[in-house]
């Protein structure tokens, strides 16, 4: 909730943010760079001020000595302290964004004149500090944002939401079609009991790996009807963890781990048989080689699916700090279009 009556500890961060906005609006050269540096000072001051507030104001459950220790630290100590003391007021992703932007600030500061900062970074850091001011100090930072930032932020939010929906739609379509293909070609692989066993085999450590590997081999032998595919898998997988080559064991672990998400494993099986990318197929994969590259989207439909899932998670705020909105939109648009093309190929192959 925003506090309308300004307290002394609110004025400093508020003034810094206003100075930053004024600098960014200035026609002089270097205005955006100065604005970015001032925003960083504002974030650091906001963190330090919050950690110095009495518990009855901040609501922190951390003891005063520990708060003071964090408040006296560097930027990363401040961010860590806020993460501990602010509870649900500030998310981990917002703190990660702040750390990323502070890293940009360090490059600006240490590399000297001639280094510029993009308008997108200034706007992104400014929007972030507006939220931090509100949640940590009760300062209405959003009201201070330039109107053009708000318009671009709203437009960007709509575009990102539309892209997320489009990517999710293609992921859902891909998952549905892969399951249909497996239901037609290897129906026993999609039985609930098989899916449960795949998940069990995918969870292993150095002690349980040998037994889980044998269970995985037995599961494939009992549930894959295509003789060529079954023989290839059993020959490709390691057999004896005590004597097989380290690379064969590593490759086996990769394939077993796919069972955490059955669609990933199904995509691998379909890809190496009927929809290979970059000539990755049963004829070209060799367990003497490191096959981890097939988890990249350029090399297999399994890699394409896993990349799409990863970027879908980014929209949920789990990973994407430091990636510009433009790059995120471009990457996700490419993945969506390629998933769509693969789904169309599967639809043409699926039985009526």
Strands (E), 143-220: none
Contact 325, 120 (CB under 8 A): yes
62 pLDDT exceeds 50?
yes
Find where tokens 């906005």 sit: 21
Q: Give pLDDT tens digits for 214-234.
A: 999 999 999 999 999 999 999
Q: What is the model's pLDDT at position 6? A: 67
How many whole angstroms separate alpha carbon 293 and alpha carbon 59? 48
How many whole angstroms separate alpha carbon 228 and alpha carbon 235? 11
DSSP-based three-state secondary structure for 239: coil
Whole-Å CA distances, 271 to 56, 250, 331: 59, 20, 22
Average pLDDT estimate for 86-102: 84
| pTM (2 d.p.) | 0.60
Whole-Å CA distances, 92 to 75, 141, 316: 15, 20, 12
241 pLDDT exceeds 80?
yes
Angle between helices 246-257 and 209-223 (to 10 degrees): 60
Find where tokens 């799409």 sit: 308
Q: What is the model's pLDDT at position 348? A: 82
How many whole angstroms separate alpha carbon 122 and alpha carbon 129? 11
Average pLDDT estimate for 145-154: 61
Q: Give pLDDT tens digits for 159-206.
A: 677 888 899 999 999 999 999 999 999 999 999 999 999 999 999 998
Q: Give pLDDT tens digits for 280-305.
A: 899 999 888 999 999 988 899 999 99
Question: 54: exposed, middle or buried (C-beta count within 10 Å: 0-12, 13-18, 19+)?
Answer: exposed
Q: What is the model's pLDDT at position 154? A: 54
Angle between helices 262-273 and 301-315 (to 10 degrees): 150
Q: Which two tokens stand for residue 217?
A: 């081999």
Q: Which two tokens stand for residue 242?
A: 């005590």
Radius of gyration of the chain (CA): 26
Q: What is the model's pLDDT at position 31? A: 77
Question: 349: exposed, middle or buried (C-beta count within 10 Å: 0-12, 13-18, 19+)?
Answer: middle
- The mean predicted confidence, pLDDT, of the chain is 85
How many whole angstroms separate alpha carbon 280 and alpha carbon 26? 55
Q: Which two tokens stand for residue 210?
A: 């040998």
112 pLDDT exceeds 70?
no
How many whole angstroms separate alpha carbon 135 and alpha carbon 86? 9
How many whole angstroms separate alpha carbon 64 and alpha carbon 217? 57
Q: Indicate the length of the chain as a whole number.
A: 352
């Amino acid at each position: 909730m925003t506090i309308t009556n300004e307290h002394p500890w609110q004025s400093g961060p508020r003034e810094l943010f206003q100075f930053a906005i004024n600098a960014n609006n200035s026609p002089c050269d270097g205005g955006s760079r100065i604005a970015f540096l001032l925003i960083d000072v504002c974030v650091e001051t906001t963190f330090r001020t919050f950690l110095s507030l009495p518990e009855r104001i901040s609501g922190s459950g951390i003891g005063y000595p520990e708060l003071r220790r964090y408040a006296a630290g560097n930027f990363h100590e401040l961010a860590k302290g806020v993460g501990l003391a602010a509870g649900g007021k500030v998310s981990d992703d917002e703190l990660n964004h702040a750390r990323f932007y502070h890293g940009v600030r360090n490059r600006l500061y240490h590399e000297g004149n001639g280094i510029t900062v993009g308008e997108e970074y200034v706007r992104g850091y400014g929007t972030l500090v507006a939220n931090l001011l509100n949640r940590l100090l009760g300062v209405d930072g959003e009201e201070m944002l330039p109107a053009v930032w708000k318009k671009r932020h709203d437009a960007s939010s709509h575009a990102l939401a539309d892209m997320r929906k489009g990517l999710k739609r293609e992921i859902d379509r891909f998952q549905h079609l892969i399951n249909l293909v497996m239901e037609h070609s290897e129906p026993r692989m999609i039985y609930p009991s098989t899916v449960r066993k795949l998940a069990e085999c995918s969870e292993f450590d150095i002690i349980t790996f040998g037994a889980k590997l044998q269970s995985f081999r037995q599961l494939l032998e009992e549930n894959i009807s295509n003789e060529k595919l079954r023989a290839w898998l059993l020959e490709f997988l390691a057999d004896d963890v005590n004597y097989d080559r380290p690379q064969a064991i590593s490759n086996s672990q990769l394939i077993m781990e796919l069972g955490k998400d059955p669609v990933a494993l199904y995509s691998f099986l379909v890809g190496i048989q009927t929809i290979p990318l970059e000539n990755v197929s049963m004829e070209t994969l060799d367990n003497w080689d490191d096959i981890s590259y097939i988890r990249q989207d350029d090399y297999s439909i399994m890699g394409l699916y896993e990349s799409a899932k990863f970027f879908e998670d980014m929209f949920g705020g789990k990973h994407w700090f430091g990636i510009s909105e433009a790059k995120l939109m471009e990457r996700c648009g490419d993945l969506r279009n390629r998933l769509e093309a693969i789904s169309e190929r599967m639809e043409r192959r699926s039985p009526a």
